[in-house]
Structure 1
Amino acid sequence: MAMFFKPAPNKVTVPLMDELTPLAGELSEGSIAGVITTDLFSQNLIQYSSLAGALNAGVRAYYIDPSNGFSVELFSRFGEGEVLVGKVYSAGELVRALEIVEENSFVFVSNFSILGAGEGDVVGLRRLIDEKGLYAVFSQNTLELNELNLNAEYRRLFVLPELYEYLIVIRSSSYRGHYRLNVSLSKLPALHIKNVGEHSITVDEKAKLLMGE
């Protein structure tokens, strides 16, 4: 049933990554970020940085993936606290998983496109995330990306990109021991709309954590 409500200021927000915050801001309750990465370096940086950011903000964190994509040892380099890990193998199982997570929690879903979500599934996920006040990241690492038509890629991987507050592509590059993320910010909340476009971010400190240096 349709209803209206008076928006309230967000009291708790979660950073996707500290280095991205000046450009993209932070996730608020009931928001979804669709993040495409083109290499494992970028995927691991956004994954562990966002999970650590949630715990640092006092928010319970969940990691959901159809594969064995979470390393407790690696996460310990980024932050402290308990991440609850779950496995799902279909969009229906993801819906049921979100039904049992605690309200106002952070949820990182890796390999989202592999779950085979259709439009109805994504609308159902959107409803759950709104109702439970979740902070959600749907992520997909892919080696095949049409850089000339990112809008079509968002639709291919995330089905209904109109329902996401953030649409981001992250790629990594390195030169002589220095690391950068080349980031396409395609969709952002209105407060940060001026930063939609292409950016390059230095991530040397985060790279040291990932590499164990």
Structure 2
Amino acid sequence: MGMFFKPAELQPREVKPFDAFPVGLPAGGVSGIVFADQLSEEIFIHHIIASTLSNSSVYHIGPGSLSIRVLEKLTESASNLYAGNTYTAEELMSALRLVEEDSLVVVRRFPLISNLSAGTVIETKRTADEKGLTLVLCHPALELNELDLPGEFKRLFLLPEIFDLLAVLRTNSYRGHYRMNVTVLRTPAEYVASIGDHSIPIDSLVKPFLYRG
């Protein structure tokens, strides 16, 4: 049963993949993140998981896998990490009902889950709200119309208007130095000034992916 009213949190919880990321991802909210290349996807997902593991449980829902070797370089312990795969909207909703409250949940390749509907998106939002989840729905877009990003979010996430955060991430490199370019289309109210384009140096964030051992 949904709740119409509840006490407002004066200091709402949020997480960031790294300090320089321009916005926080809110607890009780749903974020839609599109990756224009695999490096931006792996950096964002591995770092947001590593930054959260010491404070709460983290659930990684595929299809798609994590590199435990990389996570071991980013965090002291991955004991609070749980992973699994879902392939249908029904499986995803069942999985969300099982996760602990106040957790971070990262769902990869969300638009590829079968039987998705606007109702599924609304139910994920309801579940995130009721359980205090930081829910991140992601997609690596091999083709992305940069001239119509609102239309792309509509195509990929069905109801982008219900999301708390919408962003597109890309990486580029020049002479061995890396940057992450972030386009923010929608944010929680306290970050509304961050709507637009950001370019962030990420050399230190890339290192765990470049060197083995």
> So what's the TM-score if we normalise by structure 2?
0.93
Partner of 1:189: 188
Cα distance in structure 2, aligned partners of 1:168 and 1:17: 15
1:75 paired to 2:71: yes
Confirm or deny: 8 A CA contact 2:26 2:188 kept in the other structure: no
Q: CA deviation at 1:10?
A: 3.4
Secondary structure, counterpart of 2:6 in structure 1: coil
Q: CA deviation at 1:187?
A: 0.6
1:78-133 Cα shifts (integer Å, max 9, x gaps): 22322100110111111100000011110010111100321011111111111111
Alignment of 1:171-210 (within 5 A): 171-210=170-209
Partner of 1:61: 58
1:154-206 Cα shifts (integer Å, max 9, x gaps): 11111111111110000110001000011101111111111100111100000
Q: CA deviation at 1:208?
A: 0.7
Partner of 1:165: 164
1:156 paired to 2:155: yes
Cα distance in structure 2, aligned partners of 1:12 and 1:166: 14
Secondary structure, counterpart of 2:146 in structure 1: coil
Partner of 2:131: 132
Secondary structure, counterpart of 1:103 in structure 2: coil
Cα distance in structure 2, aligned partners of 1:59 and 1:12: 12
Cα distance in structure 1, aligned partners of 2:107 and 2:82: 12
Confirm or deny: 8 A CA contact 1:77 1:210 kept in the other structure: no
> So what's the TM-score if we normalise by structure 1?
0.93
State how many pairs are aligned: 208
Unaligned runs of 5+ in 1: none
1:13-38 Cα shifts (integer Å, max 9, x gaps): 32133220xx21x2232011100001
Confirm or deny: 8 A CA contact 2:26 2:164 kept in the other structure: no
| CA-atom RMSD in angstroms | 1.4
Letter in 1 for 2:147: L
Letter in 2 for 1:49: H
Unaligned runs of 5+ in 2: none
Cα distance in structure 2, aligned partners of 1:91 and 1:70: 22
